[in-house]
Amino acid sequence: MFCVECGREGKLYNNLCESCFRKKTVLVNLPEIINVSKCLHCNSLFIKKWFKSKDIIRDAISSAIKYHDDAEDYHVEIKLLSRDEGNADVSVKVSAVILGLSFRGEYKVKVKIKNAVCSKCSKKFGKYYEAIVQVRAADRGLNDTEIKTVIHIAEKIVEAYDTFVSDYEKMHNGLDLYIGSMNAGRMIAKSIADKYCAKHSESPKLVGRKKGEDVYRVTFAVRLPKYKTGDFVYINGKVLMIKKILKSGIIAVDLENHVITSFKRDEIENAKPVSNAVKNAVVVSESKDEVQILDPENYKTITLKKPKDFKAKETVKIIKYRDNVFLVP
Ligand SMILES: [Zn+2]
Ligand SMILES: [Zn+2]
C-alpha cells in the first residue's frame, strides 16, 4: 500500500501517508470574525435564536466552530487577548484526534458584539401580556406582606416559564399583574391560591384574530380569604386565633383551652372578626389551674383558667372579646 499523493509506502490514512494526510486535513473551520447580538436589557445572546448565556465569548465561538467530520476528543482553550464594549480579540487553541492522529491548531478570532433588544424584552417593554392575574382579598385589602409574597411568587414563575411580568398595578386594594404568557399566568394564580387557601377562576376574552386563529387574553381572579394568619375570629361561641392557612383549610387555636382545631375555608369565611389588639398583662400570681393578672386598662385583678400546658411568665399576652378575657398562646 502506498500514498496516492506521494507514493510513499507505510501506514495510510484515507489512502494518504501521515505527512500528506496532515497537509490535506483541516482541523476546524472558524471564521476570523464572529458577529453576535446581545440584549441591552437582559444580556441574552442571539445565535440563531435568543438564549441566556453565561459566557458570551465561549458561546459565540462554540456556535461558529466546525470540526473536521472525523474529529474526536476535541478540546478548546479560549484566551481573551483584548476586549472592549463591542469587540473581543480571542485566541482559540483546538486539539483533537482524527483517525488516531493528534491534531493541534491555534486561531485568532474577533467576536463583534452588537447591542440589540431580544424578543422577550421588546414584548416586555411594549407592555405585551397574555394574562392578567387579579389578586384580591375578601372584604379587606391585601397587606404589604401578601403583596410582597404575591410578587415574589410571580417573579419566580415567570423566570421558570422564560416570560415576564410586563406591569404591576395596585387596584381596588389588591394587585393586578400583567403576564407575558398565559400558562405562566395560570401557574401564578394556582400557586397563590395554594399558598393562601384562596379561590381562583379564569375567564378568557377574545381580543382578535391572528393568522386565522382566535387570540384570547385570560384574566385569572384569585380571591384570598377574609382572614389571614394571626387574625382573631369569633365563630360558634368560640374565639379563635388563626395559626395557619393551608391549601386544605385553616388551622386555628381555640383561645378558651388552646386546643388546635381545623376548619374548612368556607366555615371561617362567615366568622366575625375580633380586634387584633393583643395586650401585655402583668401576672400577679399563678396556681396549678389558674393565673391572676392585672387588667392593663383598669388595673383590676382578673383570674383566668389556665389552658393545659400554659406557662405564665412575668407578663402574659391577652385579648378581650366582649366581656371575656383570653390568654393568647
Ligand atoms: Zn504521501
Ligand atoms: Zn432581553
131 and 217 housed in the same domain: yes
Q: Measured between alpha carbons, how far is residue 287 from residues 109, 170, 283, 305 in Å?
A: 85, 52, 11, 10
C-alpha dist (Å) from residue 277 to 140, 174, 273, 304, 305: 17, 24, 12, 18, 21
Q: Of the bound ligands, which one is closest to the alpha carbon of residue 22?
A: 1
> What is the average pLDDT across 82-102?
93
State the Cα–Cα distance between residues 58 and 284, nearest whole angstrom.
73
Counting residues of the chain whose pLDDT is more than 70, the rounded percentage is: 100
Q: How much distance in Å is there from the Cα of 15 to the middle of ligand 1? A: 9
Residues 145 and 67 in one domain: no
Residue ranges near ligand 1 (ion) with Cβ within 5 Å: 3, 5-6, 8, 17, 20
Residue 8 domain-assigned?
A: no
* The three three-digit cell numbers of residue 186, written as one number: 395560570
User: Which ligand does the CA of 163 lie closest to?
Assistant: 2
Is there a single domain that holds both residue 246 and residue 162? no
Can you list the pairs that 151-155 forms with residues at least 24 positions away whose Cβ atoms lie under 8 Å?
Answer: 151/175, 151/177, 153/188, 153/191, 153/192, 153/195, 154/179, 154/188
User: pLDDT band at residue 229, thresholds of 50, 70 and 90?
Assistant: confident
Cα(41)–Cα(49) distance, integer angstroms: 16
The domain total for the chain is 3
The Cβ of residue 269 has, within 10 Å, a number of other Cβ atoms equal to: 17
Q: Same structural domain for residues 131 and 220? A: yes
**193 and 139 assigned to the same domain:** yes
Residues 278 and 203 in one domain: no
Residue 276 has pLDDT above 80, yes or no: no
pLDDT digits (tens, 9 = 90+) for 232-272: 999 888 999 999 888 777 899 999 999 999 888 778 777 88
Residue 214 predicted with pLDDT over 90 = no
Let me know if residue 35 belongs to a domain. Answer: yes
Which residue range is the domain that position 239 belongs to? Answer: 232-327
Of the ligands numbered here, which is closest to the C-alpha atom of 21? 1
What's the 42 CA to ligand 2 centre distance in angstroms?
4
The model scores a pTM over 0.95: no
Point out the domain boundary residue: 224, 246, 279.
224
Co-location of 245 and 293 in the same domain = yes
